[in-house]
C-alpha cells in the first residue's frame, strides 16, 4: 500500500528493465522467420497491458497536474492510446484470420509512438502513480480476458 502512495521518483533499474521488455516485445512483433521470434499470445497480452498502463498513467498525471499547461501537454497521449487500441485490435483480428501476430508499418509506428509516450510519462510519474496505473491496467486486461473466457 505504501508504494501505491509513494511520491518518490522512479527507480532507474526497474525503469530500464521495463522499457527493455517493451522494446523486446516490439522486436518480436516485427520479427521474421529467420531473425527474431514471432510474437506469441502472452506478448500480445503484454502489449495490451502496456496500452492500458499508458492510458492510466496519462490519466493519473493529468489529474494530478498543477497547471493547465501540463494537462494540455499530456492530452495527445490519449489520442495515441486510442490509435494504439485500434492497431492492437487489427493485429488481433489478423491473428484470428492467419494465426500469427503481425503488424503493418502504420500499426507498428503507432505502437512505437505509444511506447515513446509511456517512456516520457514514466520520466515524470511518481512511484505511486506508476504502481496505481500498473494495477489498474492489469485489472482492466484481466477482466477483458475473463469476459472472453481466456483467463
**Per-residue model confidence as pLDDT tens digits over 16-70:** 777 777 777 777 777 654 444 567 888 899 899 999 999 999 999 999 999 999 8
**Which three cell numbers mark 130?**
506508476
DSSP 36: S
Which three-class secondary structure state does DSSP give residue 67?
Answer: coil
| pLDDT tens profile 76-89 | 999 999 999 999 99
Averaged pLDDT of the chain: 84
Phi then psi dihedrals of residue 121, to 5 deg: -65, -40
Q: HSE of 21 in the Cβ direction (CA atoms, 13 Å)?
A: 13
Helix 12-30 to helix 41-64 angle (10° resolution) is 130
Rounded Cα distance between 129 and 10, Å, is 10
Amino acid at each position: 500500500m505504501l508504494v501505491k502512495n509513494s511520491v518518490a521518483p522512479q527507480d532507474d533499474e526497474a525503469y530500464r528493465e521495463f522499457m527493455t521488455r517493451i522494446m523486446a516485445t516490439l522486436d518480436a512483433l516485427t520479427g521474421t522467420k529467420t531473425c527474431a521470434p514471432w510474437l506469441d499470445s502472452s506478448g500480445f497480452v503484454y502489449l495490451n497491458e502496456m496500452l492500458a498502463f499508458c492510458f492510466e498513467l496519462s490519466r493519473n498525471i493529468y489529474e494530478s497536474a498543477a497547471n493547465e499547461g501540463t494537462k494540455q501537454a499530456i492530452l495527445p497521449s490519449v489520442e495515441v492510446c486510442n490509435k494504439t487500441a485500434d492497431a492492437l485490435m487489427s493485429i488481433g483480428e489478423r491473428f484470428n484470420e492467419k494465426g500469427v501476430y503481425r503488424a503493418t508499418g502504420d500499426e507498428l509506428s503507432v505502437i512505437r509512438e505509444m511506447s515513446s509516450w509511456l517512456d516520457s510519462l514514466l520520466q515524470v510519474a511518481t512511484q505511486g502513480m506508476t504502481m496505481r496505473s500498473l494495477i489498474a491496467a492489469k485489472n482492466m486486461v484481466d477482466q477483458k480476458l475473463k469476459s472472453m473466457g481466456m483467463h
